[in-house]
Amino acid sequence: MDIFTMVVTVCVVGQLVCTPARFNDSTLTSEESCYARMGEITHAMIKQFALNRELKGKEVTYDVSCMDQKQPKAKLGPVQVEL
């Protein structure tokens, strides 16, 4: 069974820096299930952005990808973990 890492990059029009986020989920068994979970995460992020008055009316874009356990290290480098 593969463990998938979900990578989301959020960009707000007019902001100089985009916000990257990584999520690991060992319960995902396929790329399809990873992208389905990604939909839930981006929906929650959209709701959170909607609460920020500074962002009201601004376009927010998401770049999402799902990678198996070998791809993130090769493409993104080591993952930092907070304990």
Token pair of 77, please?
A: 């480098």
Radius of gyration in angstroms for the set of CA atoms belonging to the chain, rounded to a whole number: 14
Residue 83 belongs to a domain: no
CA–CA distance, 5 with 54 (Å, rounded to integer)? 30
CA–CA distance, 35 with 28 (Å, rounded to integer)? 10
Give per-residue pLDDT as tens, 13-41: 888 888 888 877 777 778 788 888 888 88
Residue 13 belongs to a domain: yes
**Host domain of residue 38:** 4-76
Of residues 68 and 52, more confidently modeled: 52
Is the pLDDT at 75 greater than 80, yes or no?
Answer: no
Residue 82 belongs to a domain: no
**8 A C-beta contact, residue 57 and residue 49:** no
User: How many domains does the structure of the chain reveal?
Assistant: 1
Helices (H), 1-83: 31-50, 71-76
Residue 81 belongs to a domain: no
Residue 62 belongs to a domain: yes
Give per-residue pLDDT as tens, 42-61: 888 888 877 888 877 888 88
Token match 């593969």: residue? Answer: 2
Residue 58 belongs to a domain: yes
